[in-house]
Amino acid sequence: MKAKVLKSKIANRLKRKRRIRAKISGCASLPRVSVFRSNRYLSVQAIDDAASVTLASLNSKAIGQSANKDGATALGAAFAAKLKEAGISEIVFDRNGYQYHGVIAAFGDSLRANEIKF
Please report, for the domain that includes residue 81, its CATH number.
3.30.420.100
Side-chain half-sphere CA neighbours of 102 within 13 A: 7
State the pLDDT at residue 1. 75
State the pLDDT at residue 77. 97
State the pLDDT at residue 3. 92
Please report whether residue 76 resides in a domain: yes
| 1-41 confidence digits (pLDDT tens) | 799 999 999 999 999 999 999 999 999 899 999 999 999 99
Three-class secondary structure of residue 69 per DSSP:
helix
Q: How far apart are CA 47 and CA 27, in angstroms?
A: 8
| 88-112 confidence digits (pLDDT tens) | 999 999 999 999 999 999 999 999 9
Number of structural domains (the chain) is: 1
C-beta atoms surrounding 5 within 10 Å: 9
Please report whether residue 118 resides in a domain: no
Please report whether residue 19 resides in a domain: yes
Q: Which domain holds residue 19?
A: 3-113
Please report whether residue 9 resides in a domain: yes
